[in-house]
Amino acid sequence: MKIAVVGGGYVGLVTGTCLAGIGHTVTIIEIDPEKVRAINTGKTPIFEPGLEDLLKKNASVRLHAEPGYGAVAGADIVFICVGTPPAADGSADLSFIRSAGMSIGNALKGTEPYCAVVTKSTVPPGTTENVVQPLVLKASGKTLQSIGFVMNPEFLREGRAVEDFMHPDRIVIGSSDRKAGDIVAAAYQPLAAPVIRTGIAAAEMIKYTSNAFLATKISFSNEIGNICKRLGIDVYEVMKGVGLDPRIGPLFLNAGAGFGGSCFPKDVAALTALAKERGEEPLLLAAALAINERQPHRMVALLEEKIGPVSGKRIAVLGLAFKDNTDDIRDSRAIPVIRELLEKGAGIVAFDPMASENMRRIFPEIEYFPSAAGALTGADGCLVMTEWPEFSSLDREFDLMAHKVIIEGRRILSCKEKEGICW
């Protein structure tokens, strides 16, 4: 198929590259000239395992990036993969969605072939039918007989996105009509996965509900971990026993510093705002967010229990990305920790295998090191914020500290002299 992907960010780039990888001809529409240049030369502007190799194989063969919407006119499918950042009240900002809808409609004006316009961005239920569809139809001058509308949410984990795309656990397709849904289902035919066909709003709600439930499991585990900490119980032993119950499952039960990234905080906040707008008070979702906001500050409190006031002390922060295998720092739990430590007068030194340059844009005043050993040298305390696998082998590096006080927000260390945030 000929496919246009609007947006060359994380979701758009992974989606477009993987679709090209399974045999489609893909054009990524991206306004940033640097990203366009990088994609067309086979260089990924983001770090994602396996993505650059796949991009190199397909760039200028089945994959091309350009700033304009010309490729939409001849496309069988147009995927909308633009950002839906949080507004001031936590609701989803749909300005990029609206802009994409109008531009797609203008590009489809006067064209003949049937086209399926697919929302892949995470959007509140009703967005595709009440925002995207009318904008595209009005700008194009067409009817639902010549343009179909689909919601096809992504379930890509950063650090494992290519694997998730190529081996999905499910493909959700919510469509305005059977024809539009069939076209999108056919695009995924090379992938072996159950296909769930729903209405458009239900597909939009599936994505929000999935992320909200996973975020709630994390916050629940963290609250249990906080209780276990008071009782002197290892929460990981508890959750191992709990997770073997098939009604619960073992995933997302690892207690720690909380969830971050581009999805969970934003999507739970957006669903909370949507519920309130419709007259519902989402108590459980609000609690999941509140627990998550408090959790990283417990790291600082525990550190101060061990070393006293942090003012004037050298604190090493290991791990800046919101999770391992990515350079993404969006809503990283290291951010509120660093901010609080700075407010209290601490001197911060930091190391991350991938994310230091991104964090430098937020905190240029702290010192970044190219190794864990460099950051640990002379430190009065250490906070481990990200579960990078290489951190598990750190041992003698901690001997370089002035005071060996090590607190981990992710259970990754194997050294003896450490204490967990809630274990």
CB distance 95 to 104 below 8 Å? no
Q: What are phi and psi of 263, to 5 degrees?
A: -115, -65
Residues 6 or more apart from 357 whose CB is under 8 A from it? Answer: 327
Please give the single-letter amino acid code of residue 367. Answer: E
Contact between residue 121 and residue 80 where contact means Cβ atoms under 8 Å apart: yes
Closest to 381 (Cα-Cα) out of 289, 310, 284 = 310
- Name the maximum alpha-carbon separation found in the chain: 72
**Alpha-carbon distance 206 to 208, whole Å?**
6
d(CA 372, CA 351): 6
Q: Which of 29, 39, 37, 30 is nearest to 72 (CA)?
A: 29
- What residues are annotated to the active site? 263
Residue 139: name the closest of 98, 173, 174 by CA.
98
- CA–CA dist 208, 216 (Å, integer): 12
Joined together, the tokens standing for residue 389 give: 């696998």
262: its two tokens = 């581009």
Residue carrying structure tokens 């459980």: 284
Contact by Cβ (8 Å): 318, 312: no
**Structure-block tokens of residue 236:** 């990981």
Give, in order, the Cα–Cα distances in Å from 48 to each of 14, 24, 164, 269, 335: 9, 21, 12, 26, 21
Query: What is the rounded distance in angstroms from the CA atom of residue 274 to the CA atom of residue 319?
Result: 33
CA 205 to chain centre: 17
Residue 235 per-residue DSSP state: H
Distances (CA, A) of 109 to 102, 118, 137, 268, 340: 11, 17, 9, 37, 53
**Quick one: tokens of 161?**
């996105």
Contact 295, 222 (CB under 8 A): yes
